[in-house]
Amino acid sequence: MHTATVVKKAYYRMVPVVILGLAVAALNGLVDGLVTGRLLGTEAMAAVTLFGPISTAIGLSYVIISGVQILCGELIGTGDGEKVISLFSTCLVFLGAISVGITALLYILQNPMAYALGAKGVTATMLCGYVRGYAPGIIGQVFSGAFMMFLPLNHDEKRSYIGIVILVVSNTLLNLLFVGPLAWGTFGLGLATALSYLLSSGYMFTGFLKKEKVIRFRFGKFCFGEMKHAAYLGLPHLMFTLGNVGKTLVMNQAVMTRIGSDAVAVMNVQGSVCGLAGSIPQGVSIAFLVLGSIYYGEEDRSSLIGALRTSLIGGVLLSALTMGGLMLLSPVLPSAFSLKGDAFTMCTDMLLLFPSFLVLNTLFNLFLKTYQCQGQMKIVNTLPLIEQIATAVFAVAGLYMLGVNAIWASFSLANGLMLIVIAILVFVRAKKITFSLPQWMRLDPDFGAKEGECLEFALHSMDEVTQISERIIDFCRQRGIEHRKCNLAGLFVEEMAGNVVQHGFLPGEEHSVDVRLVAKEALTIRVRDDCRAFDPKKRVEQFSHEDPTKNVGIRMIAKLAEEMRYQNYAGINSLLIKV
């Protein structure tokens, strides 16, 4: 029986870091919104809200980041550590150049941009001031997003958390200083955000300079040609972002024209508070994408299905709890932003209607990331764009017929529509109504090892390790594996799993060794655990010839195995042995 204990631990370790990484912009937006509402008023809140499409467009950097993430996941799955380093380093240089270009454009085009976004008079002046302060921090914003996505692969979650604390604390303190005593208005608001991003990203970058890390920055051997492939893999994010920018522009203009600045101020609250909650569906799905890319690269069908099942259960539960929390806070949260009168009422209604989107969006994003892992790019590129268009259509049409509440309900309606579209695609492919998870994942029936070709189990103690050898030998014999390889397989697993239990299972800690044997064209053994990073192959290479008896078991396996490959990602030790 397959036990995905290590998979689940890795997933639940990654999820909070990825969610917080995505929530960084929303956290800063929340702080900015609170400070703006209390110290600068609703006119300034409207100005900052109108900047939303530009801030969203800066998120196009995730096109490259997500594509490189997928490539790195696949390369980790195949053991090509050098290419991983080259890809990551190239990604940073490429993103840095793009960020500098965006900063220059914002300075040059700030006035026509303010007009194009619908700002006039005092609002336009405030928006230009915000842009001048915000622009220098774009490189920090882009790098922070990248670092948050890659730090979990280095098992460096602590650095992510500290980086987030630096970001939020520095932004809060600088906001209070620049907007309060120094009275720099919206310029100070933007500058506080810029400096906080630069401080946070600078700290996190130090985590990618250590030689022992799987993901690290290194000058030289850049592969800029791979950025085109990364951009292709990241196309879903491009389509989503382009749709989101267009949707936000249309909705901002419609709300400003139809209702006025009070409604735009409420949209600021929706963008910050609910944007923060919206990082849950995105974070859950991206964490799955990272692990899913690795399992897909390893052709590990059962782990891929198990990771999605875990993501669906955990993601839906987390989204539902967040939805309930926001709804419960709806009578009191508007006061934190100093909203009054019609704006207060609109904000209360928004907090009751919008959060239902979270559960639906979690489901939608997880299935999209499943298709993305498998390279089903036609579906993945099309559906996010349709979702954004549908949201804008529902919002604007409903605004003129039903009022401002149609804006908040449009998000749930669009995501519900997308899930219906996915259900139709599954029905057409399966030629029947089905609730089978592999069918909804659209997995190729020939992908991965079939049930009879695979043996999976979890080990938790030395007693279990010593009893497993015969079971492995029997499994191999029943599949026609030659006698010598059958015995080697039992020996290899007993030696390597026993080594993990003896040296990695520390007192007071719960660990598991997940073992997987696949008998197809060749006999492959994979041993996974969540103990301290340990590379048996590297240790073999470092052994002294003066003591041939030292670590003799590992030396024997390295000599007898056809191939021996090790990686550590997201806190998981993964050893692949070909017999």
Return the C-alpha torsion angle 200, 203, 205, 210, nearest 10: -160
Highest mean pLDDT among 37-51, 194-208, 326-340: 194-208
Residue 368, in any domain of the structure: yes
Distance of CA 135 to the CA centre of its chain: 25
Number of independent structural domains in the chain: 2
Among 384, 401, 430, the domain boundary falls at: 430
Claim to verify: residue 480 and residue 345 sit in the same structural domain: no
Q: What is the pLDDT of residue 2?
A: 42
Claim to verify: residue 517 and residue 423 sit in the same structural domain: no
Over 60: is that where the pLDDT of 502 sits? Answer: yes
Residue 444, in any domain of the structure: no
Claim to verify: residue 382 and residue 482 sit in the same structural domain: no
More confident site: 59 or 308: 308
Claim to verify: residue 328 and residue 420 sit in the same structural domain: yes
Residue 445, in any domain of the structure: no
Nearest to 36 by CA among 165, 193, 163: 193
Claim to verify: residue 230 and residue 308 sit in the same structural domain: yes
More confident site: 242 or 216: 216
Q: Per-residue pLDDT tens for 168-227? A: 899 999 999 999 899 999 999 999 999 999 999 999 999 999 887 878 899 877 899 889
Mean pLDDT score of the chain: 82
CATH at residue 518: 3.30.565.10
Highest mean pLDDT among 20-29, 136-145, 378-387, 494-503: 136-145
- Mean pLDDT across 142-157: 83
Angle CA(208)–CA(102)–CA(381) in degrees, nearest 5?
A: 80
Residue 437, in any domain of the structure: no
Residue 252, in any domain of the structure: yes
User: Which residues are bridge partners to 573 per DSSP?
Assistant: 529, 568
Claim to verify: residue 356 and residue 472 sit in the same structural domain: no
Q: Please state, in angstroms and as integers, the Cα–Cα distance from residue 26 to each residue in 93, 141, 318, 522, following that order.
A: 25, 12, 18, 49
Q: What is the pLDDT of residue 552?
A: 59
Q: What is the pLDDT of residue 21?
A: 65
Claim to verify: residue 321 and residue 261 sit in the same structural domain: yes
Q: Per-residue pLDDT tens for 441-477? A: 998 887 877 767 888 888 888 888 888 888 888 988 8
Claim to verify: residue 30 and residue 61 sit in the same structural domain: yes
Q: What is the pLDDT of residue 138?
A: 95
Claim to verify: residue 358 and residue 499 sit in the same structural domain: no
Residue 564, in any domain of the structure: yes
- Phi and psi at 564, nearest 5°, equal -140, 120
Q: Of 81-85, 165-169, 259-263, which gets the smallest average pLDDT?
A: 259-263
Stated pTM of the model? 0.66
Q: What is the pLDDT of residue 337?
A: 74
- Mean pLDDT across 345-356: 88
Q: DSSP letters along 214-259, please?
A: SS---SS---TTHHHHHHHHTHHHHHHHHHHHHHHHHHHHHHHHHT
Q: Which domain holds residue 309?
A: 5-430
User: Which residues are bridge partners to 575 per DSSP?
Assistant: 527, 566
Claim to verify: residue 458 and residue 413 sit in the same structural domain: no
Q: DSSP letters along 182-199, please?
A: T--HHHHHHHHHHHHHHH
Q: What is the pLDDT of residue 554?
A: 66
Residue 345, in any domain of the structure: yes
Q: What is the pLDDT of residue 1?
A: 38
Claim to verify: residue 425 and residue 472 sit in the same structural domain: no
User: Which residues are bridge partners to 515 per DSSP?
Assistant: 457, 527
Nearest to 259 by CA among 251, 271, 247, 268: 251
- The long-range contacts involving 480-488, CB below 8 angstroms and separated by at least 24 positions, are 481/519, 481/523, 485/523, 485/579, 488/560, 488/561, 488/579
Please, which pLDDT band fits residue 540 given cuts at 50, 70 and 90? very low
Claim to verify: residue 426 and residue 486 sit in the same structural domain: no
Residue 438, in any domain of the structure: no
Q: What is the pLDDT of residue 550?
A: 52
More confident site: 578 or 552: 578
Q: What is the pLDDT of residue 420?
A: 96
